[in-house]
Structure 1
Amino acid sequence: MIDFSQEIKYKTSRSPGKGGQNVNKVETKVEAVWNVENSLFFTNEEKICIKNKLSNRMNKIGELCINSSETRSQIENKKIATQKMLQLVTQSLYKSTIRKPSERTRSSIEKRLMFKKKLSYIKRLRNKNNWE
């Protein structure tokens, strides 16, 4: 797995949701921010690929932003946000193979032709000129 976590910056804020008295005092929500353009870890082609596939999660400056407020712990949320970001970037760099269509088999061609002959025979029987 790719590890560019040293380039990620973290911002914290008060998290909405459960936490009791803790929720008003402690900043547990974590936002992980990574500037794709300034990254030293990836090549230009990889950066373009990341930008294209993750453009809906990027801001105008070109930073990839991931939020996490799943747990009450800031450290846990930081780990979760980092894992999400690493997973998204690795998925965006994955290139799927292009499917090559296979040729028709002889039996499938024969079945199709037999079906066509059967239909034409049925339609020929429906013809009014055949009944006379």
Structure 2
Amino acid sequence: MLTPYLSIAEDELDFQAIRSQGAGGQNVNKVSSAVQMRFDIRASSLPEECKQRLLCVRDDRLSKDGVFIIKAQAYRSQLQNKQAAVERLRDVVGQALAPQRPRIATKPSYSSRQKRMEHKRQRSDVKSMRRTPLV
């Protein structure tokens, strides 16, 4: 469940158990506790507007085919890693669905313009002092 009115069915998520990376010794080398979750956005039951927003998200986890791949390996338990992957997907979809606030154009304040001009004047003075004097 993503929001009160939107959810993703369990059969739309493809889980694959893989071996974790990093330190951990024999446990990491023998046990496939990490989880790689694949979520095909185009084939999902999400509304079309939601799909388009998700496909426009700039994220390295999104493939060119529209498949979102999340790898979870923080926990030693495969079940906990599975829950962590689903939680990350929930966060990504939630951020994509959040309405974008329109940017309100503002003007620089009077004091900021004055500071900018003062800084430009100082730089100009420094550079003019470097010039060789005219004879």
Amino acid at match of 1:58: L
| Identical pairs, percent | 29
Structure 2 unpaired stretches of 5+: 111-135
- Describe the shift of the 1:15–1:55 C-alpha distance in structure 2 as closer, same or farther (beyond 3 A): closer
Cα RMSD between the aligned structures?
A: 2.5
Aligned residue in 2 for 1:66: 70
Structure 1 unpaired stretches of 5+: 109-132
Match of 1:45 among 41, 44, 49: 49
Aligned residue in 1 for 2:93: 89
Please report the TM-score for the alignment, with normalisation by the length of structure 1: 0.68
- Describe the shift of the 1:8–1:102 C-alpha distance in structure 2 as closer, same or farther (beyond 3 A): same
CA distance in 2, matches of 1:93, 1:54: 14
Bigger proportion of residues as helix? 1
User: 2:75 touches 2:81 (CA, 8 Å); kept in 1?
Assistant: yes
What number of residue pairs does the alignment pair up?
Answer: 106
User: Which deviations, in whole Å up to 9, do the C-alpha atoms of 1:59-116 show, x marking residues without a partner?
Assistant: 232110111111111111111011001111110111122144589xxxx8xxxxxxxx
- Describe the shift of the 1:16–1:32 C-alpha distance in structure 2 as closer, same or farther (beyond 3 A): same
CA distance in 1, matches of 2:77, 2:27: 10
Aligned residue in 2 for 1:19: 24
CA distance in 2, matches of 1:72, 1:64: 23
User: 1:59 touches 1:65 (CA, 8 Å); kept in 2?
Assistant: yes
Match of 1:30 among 24, 32, 35: 35
Aligned residue for 2:56, secondary structure, equals: helix
CA distance in 2, matches of 1:5, 1:75: 17
Name which of structure 1's ranges 25-34 and 12-21 shifts more when overlaid on structure 2.
12-21
Between structure 1 and structure 2, the one with the greater Rg is 1
- Describe the shift of the 1:96–1:11 C-alpha distance in structure 2 as closer, same or farther (beyond 3 A): same
Match of 1:75 among 67, 72, 79: 79
Please report the TM-score for the alignment, with normalisation by the length of structure 2: 0.67
CA distance in 2, matches of 1:19, 1:54: 32
